[in-house]
Amino acid sequence: MTPDEMKVRDYILKIYDGDVTKCMHCGKCSASCPAYGEMDIKPHQFPSYVAHGEIAALMDSKTIWECLGCSACVERCPRGVKPGKLIDGVRQAVIRQRGGSHLYPEQIPAMVDPETPQQLLVSVLRRERK
Ligand code: SF4
Ligand code: SF4
């Protein structure tokens, strides 16, 4: 990995806040994923890609935009690996690289559908605030 790639991996791991080495490749996360069919790199593959420093492939993957953030994979994982959270981290790294990670509270109302339940907004903000 280049120093720049190492910096991106550190950023992803900070958001992720878990241990990719605990993955035992059982595939339960992918089996429970509703977006599995749309993904090029599957949820159960994310931990080993990160462990092996293959960050660029993850950042170019379709998966980070197909993941619904439903956390089914997080709940299903017997080792607490949280692959969905890892996918979140990679997506945020890409957004940050594109310079789009700065969102101010006053910008939010215009972007939100008025029909969106408040509970959904609160849970998304809680999940994304790290
Ligand atoms: S992340 Fe968890 S559920 Fe997915 S393959 Fe690894 S151990 Fe299994
Ligand atoms: S959080 Fe993403 S990867 Fe995990 S089950 Fe839901 S859609 Fe699939």
- Tens-place pLDDT, residues 14-62: 999 999 999 999 999 999 999 999 999 999 999 999 999 999 999 999 9
Asked if residue 49 is part of any domain, the answer here is: yes
**3-state SS of the chain: helix, strand, coil percent to 5?**
60, 0, 40
Asked if residue 25 is part of any domain, the answer here is: yes
CATH number of 90's domain: 1.10.1060.10
The domain tally of the chain equals: 1
The whole-angstrom separation of Cα 89 and Cα 86 is 5
Q: List residues near ligand 1 (CB under 6 A).
A: 23-29, 44, 47, 76-77, 79, 81, 83
Asked if residue 16 is part of any domain, the answer here is: yes
Res. 129 pLDDT band, cuts 50 70 90: low
Asked if residue 129 is part of any domain, the answer here is: no
Nearest in space to 89 (alpha carbons), one of 126, 46, 26, 44: 46
pLDDT in tens, 77-104: 999 999 999 999 999 999 988 876 566 7
Asked if residue 115 is part of any domain, the answer here is: no
Mean pLDDT of 102-110: 77
Distance 40 CA to ligand 2 centre (A): 13
Q: At what angle do helices 3-16 and 83-97 cross, to 10 degrees?
A: 130
Q: Which pLDDT does position 86 carry in this prediction? A: 96
Asked if residue 67 is part of any domain, the answer here is: yes
Quote the pTM value.
0.79
Q: Which domain holds residue 44?
A: 3-102
120 pLDDT more than 70: yes
Asked if residue 19 is part of any domain, the answer here is: yes
Q: Which ligand is nearest to the CA of 71?
A: 2
Best residue among 20, 22, 28 to mutate for probing ligand 1's pocket (most ligand atoms within 8 Å of CB) is 28
The whole-angstrom separation of Cα 96 and Cα 118 is 26
- Which helix (H) or strand (E) segment holds residue 88: the answer is helix 83-97
Asked if residue 40 is part of any domain, the answer here is: yes
